[in-house]
Amino acid sequence: MSEAQLKSTGKLARKNCQPKSKATDAQLNDLQVGKWDDAPETKCYAYCLMNMYKIVDKTTGKFNEETAYNLLDMLPTARVAPIKESISRCKGQDGGDDKCNSAYQVLKCIYFDNPSNYFAP
């Protein structure tokens, strides 16, 4: 997948998950620049994104590291190693019993571990 394809896929994912989570454009744009607001909408947006790609358990929101690693082959080659390292460092994040919070904690960790390689829309 090229960077352009990654961006296009991200737009589709956002179009699907934003209405489901009720996150605003401002909230989602803030995530891209490191302003993670811990609002229920952004947490459920994270869950929706990760659930779309089956990298979280549908019921608990717990991160599935193996599935995440399997999806890395779809990314542009330059992103694979840094994102693999971020996944390895963030896989143990736990948001408790709330599936949205669990997914959000992993995604937030991945962002702050390596902001330059973050690509979630």
Give 10-residue mean pLDDT values along the chain (121 residues). 72 90 94 91 94 86 87 85 92 82 92 86 75
d(CA 50, CA 79) in angstroms, rounded, equals: 18
Nearest Cα to 121, choosing from 43, 34, 35, 9?
9
End-to-end CA distance of the chain: 16
What is residue 92's predicted lDDT score, i.e. its pLDDT? Answer: 82
pLDDT of residue 28: 93
pLDDT of residue 6: 67
Distance CA 115, CA 65 (A): 19
Alpha helices in the chain (DSSP H): 3-21, 25-31, 40-52, 65-71, 77-90, 99-113
**CATH value at residue 19:** 1.10.238.20
Domain carrying residue 24: 3-117
Distance CA(44)–CA(20), nearest Å, equals: 8
Q: How far apart are CA 96 and CA 2, in angstroms?
A: 35
**Against a cut of 0.75, is the pTM above it?**
yes
Q: What is the pLDDT of residue 51?
A: 92
Domain count along the chain: 1
Give the pLDDT confidence score for residue 108 in this predicted structure.
93
What is the pLDDT at residue 71? 86
